[in-house]
């Protein structure tokens, strides 16, 4: 020991102490497999350099990677939501969100975003006192445009791109339970197409009287898709058929030099002298039919010279046919009243209106809005009292039979037969609506 200097004695003592600690730790933890020996933990040995100094070699400590703030999400606008509420709900401060909406307005009106609109957003999430920041916002519109909003270098940039759309035909076939309208919607037909079909078929079908559970229907219509197969917008109704009590009524879309319209399978225009019902069939019900009844207010038996259609106040009332307004104003028990003369034989009357939108002497076209459902005059509740007057006498509107007003000329009829044949073929080959209904469909316009 005399040959050892003070430095070497300290080094040896340090090594001995470290070895003792390691050995004691081994004895204490050898029964616990979860414990790791120093050698197993990549601990480097203690060494002595040429100068006699003690060196302990240690492995560097691994640092945890910082959590990324980047987020990417796709979702649909909810009820009563707009872009401002979406961004603030994601953690954007109101100033940043307002700037985003303001920049977007340069290429697209944010108010046109509707419930169900699909939006894709990339952003940096809020952290601590720092609010979220937008990176990109993308969505598609029913007009066939793609909208992109970017935020980079503290600046927003909005752009509109035209999307290439592909037209496809889509069909639906089924049976009704309670109504044609609800049955078609459940099978994936857009509401606008169903309403067009109801309107075109309404010259031959009374939607409050004719349909029965189990009746069959068919519809063929257009949709427009982007290259990824997403439905961007709905096109035109091409064909519709309904079989009340097994009697098929079919209409085909066809365009002549005078304009587009619908024709039956014989090539006759579906437009007739008078509509069977002057209200949207999906928003009404028959509450009182033509004939003798006990008056709900007067309490005695009295002839009811029209049909009452129950509907909410404000429901639009359409002219049953082209004609000239003879009366428009207050008419005693009828309340607000409109009388339209269609020809030398027929006139129609509309009573209890809450609003009148025409004037005496005004010429109106078929389906033109002439007023709104109300409960004025002698009335127990909101409804339209509708009369058909033939040669000065009220007749049952459901009994009025009219022939088609327009026939195609021989050349047009030949062209129509080709269109009809193609529609019949397309009904066999088009994709079912249920397949297209499963695809996500943007709903915004513009």
179-195 per-position pLDDT tens digit? 899 999 988 898 889 99
Question: Is 386 found in the same domain as 285?
Answer: yes
* 287 lies in the same domain as 391: yes
Q: CA–CA separation, 156 vs 150, rounded Å?
A: 6
Structural domain harbouring 357: 281-399
Residues 43 and 76 placed together within one structural domain of the fold: no
Residue 97 lies in a domain: yes
Considering the domain boundaries, does residue 260 fall inside one?
yes
State the burial class of residue 116 (Cβ atoms within 10 Å of its Cβ: 0-12, 13-18, 19+).
middle
Phi-psi region of 42 (alpha: psi -120 to 50; beta: other; left: phi over 0): left
DSSP letter at 268 equals B
pLDDT surpassing 60 at residue 51: no
Confirm whether 232 is domain-assigned.
Answer: yes
CATH code for position 385 = 2.70.70.10
Residues 289 and 390 occupy one common structural domain? yes
Is the pLDDT at 3 greater than 70? The verdict is: no
* pLDDT tier, 74 (very low <50, low <70, confident <90, very high otherwise): confident
Domain check: are 186 and 268 in the same one? Answer: yes
User: Which strands form 216-225's sheet, in the order they lie side by side?
Assistant: 259-263, 249-256, 231-243, 216-225, 166-175, 431-432
Cα gap 173→187, rounded to integer Å: 8
pLDDT digits (tens, 9 = 90+) for 270-308: 877 688 789 888 788 888 888 876 766 666 677 888 999
In a domain, 338, yes or no: yes
Q: Which CATH number covers residue 193? A: 3.10.450.350
Q: What is the dihedral of CA 113, 119, 124, 125, to 10 degrees?
A: 80
Q: What letter would DSSP give residue 345?
A: S
Answer yes or no: do 325 and 298 share one domain: yes
Q: Are 286 and 307 in contact (CB under 8 A)?
A: yes
Give the Cα separation of 34 and 341 in Å (integer). 97
Nearest in space to 137 (alpha carbons), one of 100, 170, 112, 166:
100
Poorest-pLDDT segment among 118-127, 157-166, 222-231, 314-323 = 222-231
* Shared-domain flag, residues 145 and 106: yes
The pLDDT, as a whole number, for residue 257 is 79
Both 338 and 394 in a single domain?
Answer: yes
User: What separation in angstroms does the CA of 373 have from each of 335, 387, 424, 432?
Assistant: 11, 14, 40, 38
Residues 195 and 263 in one domain: yes
Residue 407 confidence (pLDDT) above 80: no
pLDDT, tens only, 97-114: 999 999 999 999 988 888
The angle subtended at Cα 203 by Cα 200 and Cα 209, nearest 5°, is: 110
Query: Is 426 inside any structural domain?
Result: no
Same domain, 131 and 187: no
With respect to residue 12, please indicate whether it lies within any of the assigned structural domains.
Answer: yes
Residue 136 lies in a domain: yes
How would you label 208-220 residue by residue, b for 16+ Cβ within 10 Å and e otherwise? bebbeeebebbbb
State the pLDDT at residue 42.
47
Let me know whether 34 and 79 are in one domain.
Answer: no
> Which of 306, 261, 279, 302 shows the shortest CA–CA distance to 397?
306
Are 410 and 334 within 8 A, CB to CB? no
User: What are the tens digits of pLDDT across the range 110-136?
Assistant: 888 888 888 899 998 888 888 889 999
CA 425 to chain centre: 29
- Angstrom distance (rounded) from CA 415 to CA 418: 5
267 and 291 co-located in one domain: no
Q: How many CB atoms lie within 10 A of CB 162?
A: 9
Q: How far is CA 339 from the centre of its chain?
A: 38
Q: For the chain, give the number of residues.
A: 446
Out of 137, 162, 187, pick the residue that ends a domain: 162
Q: What SS3 state is found at 140?
A: strand
Which residue, of 104, 132, 162, is where some domain finishes? 162
Beta strands in 153-284 (DSSP E): 155-162, 166-175, 216-225, 231-243, 249-256, 259-263
Which of 162, 189, 224 corresponds to the end of one domain?
A: 162
Total number of domains constituting the chain: 4
Contact 108, 137 (CB under 8 A): no
**Residue 288, domain member (yes or no):** yes
Please tell me what DSSP assigns to residue 44.
P
């Amino acid at each position: 020991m005399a040959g050892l200097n003070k430095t070497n004695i300290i080094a040896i003592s340090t090594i001995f102490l470290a070895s003792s600690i390691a050995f004691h730790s081994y004895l204490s933890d050898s029964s616990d497999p979860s414990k790791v020996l120093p050698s197993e933990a990549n601990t480097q040995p203690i060494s002595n350099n040429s100068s006699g100094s003690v060196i302990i070699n240690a492995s560097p400590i691994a640092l945890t990677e910082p959590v990324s703030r980047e987020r990417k999400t796709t979702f649909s606008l909810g009820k009563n939501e707009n872009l401002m509420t979406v961004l603030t709900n994601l953690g954007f401060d109101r100033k940043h969100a307002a700037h985003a909406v303001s920049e977007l307005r340069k290429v697209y009106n944010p108010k046109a975003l509707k419930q169900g609109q699909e939006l894709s957003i990339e952003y940096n999430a809020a952290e601590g006192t720092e609010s979220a920041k937008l990176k990109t916002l993308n969505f598609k519109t029913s007009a066939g445009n793609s909208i992109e909003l970017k935020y980079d270098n503290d600046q927003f940039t909005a752009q509109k791109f035209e999307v290439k759309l592909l037209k496809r035909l889509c069909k639906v076939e089924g049976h009704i339970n309670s109504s044609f309208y609800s049955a078609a919607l459940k099978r994936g037909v857009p509401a606008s197409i169903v309403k067009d079909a109801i309107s075109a078929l309404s010259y031959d079908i009374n939607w409050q009287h004719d349909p029965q559970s189990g009746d069959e229907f068919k519809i063929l219509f257009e949709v427009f898709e982007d290259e990824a197969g997403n439905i961007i917008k709905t096109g035109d109704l091409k064909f519709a058929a309904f079989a009340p009590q097994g009697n098929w009524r079919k209409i085909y879309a066809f365009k002549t030099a005078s304009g587009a319209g619908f024709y039956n399978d014989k090539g006759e225009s579906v437009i007739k002298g008078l509509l069977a019902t002057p209200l949207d069939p999906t928003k009404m019900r028959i509450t009182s039919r033509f004939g003798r009844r006990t008056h709900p207010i007067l309490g005695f038996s009295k002839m009811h010279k029209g049909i009452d259609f129950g509907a909410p106040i404000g429901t639009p009332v359409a002219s049953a046919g082209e004609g000239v307004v003879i009366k428009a104003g207050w008419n005693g028990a009828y309340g607000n009243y409109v009388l339209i003369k269609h020809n030398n034989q027929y006139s129609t009357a509309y009573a209890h209106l809450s609003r009148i939108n025409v004037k005496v002497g005004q010429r109106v076209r078929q389906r033109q809005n002439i007023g709104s459902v109300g409960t004025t005059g002698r009335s127990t509740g909101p409804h339209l009292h509708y009369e058909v007057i033939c040669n000065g006498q009220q007749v049952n509107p459901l009994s009025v039979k009219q022939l088609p007003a327009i026939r195609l000329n021989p050349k047009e009829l030949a062209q129509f037969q080709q269109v009809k044949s193609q529609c019949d073929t397309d009904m066999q080959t088009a994709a079912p609506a249920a397949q297209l209904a499963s695809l996500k469909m943007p709903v915004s316009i513009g």
